[in-house]
Amino acid sequence: MEILKRPPTTKLSAACFTGDAWADVLYRGDHVRANMVRFAPGARTAWHSHGLGQTLLIVEGVALIQSRKGGIIEAHPGDVVHTPPGEEHWHGAAPDRFMVHLALWEGDDVSWHEHVSDTEYRGPRSSTRS
Q: Which carries the bigger pLDDT value, residue 85 or residue 29?
A: 85
Average pLDDT, integer, range 17-45: 95
CB 22 within 8 A of CB 9: yes
pTM, entire model? 0.93
pLDDT at 130 over 90: no
CA 121 to each of CA 9, 30, 45: distance values in angstroms, whole numbers, following the listed order: 26, 34, 11
Where residue 129 falls among pLDDT bands split at 50, 70, 90? confident
Residue type at 105 in one-letter notation: W
CA 102 to each of CA 35, 53, 87: distance values in angstroms, whole numbers, following the listed order: 6, 14, 19
Residue type at 112 in one-letter notation: W
Residue 6: per-residue pLDDT: 86
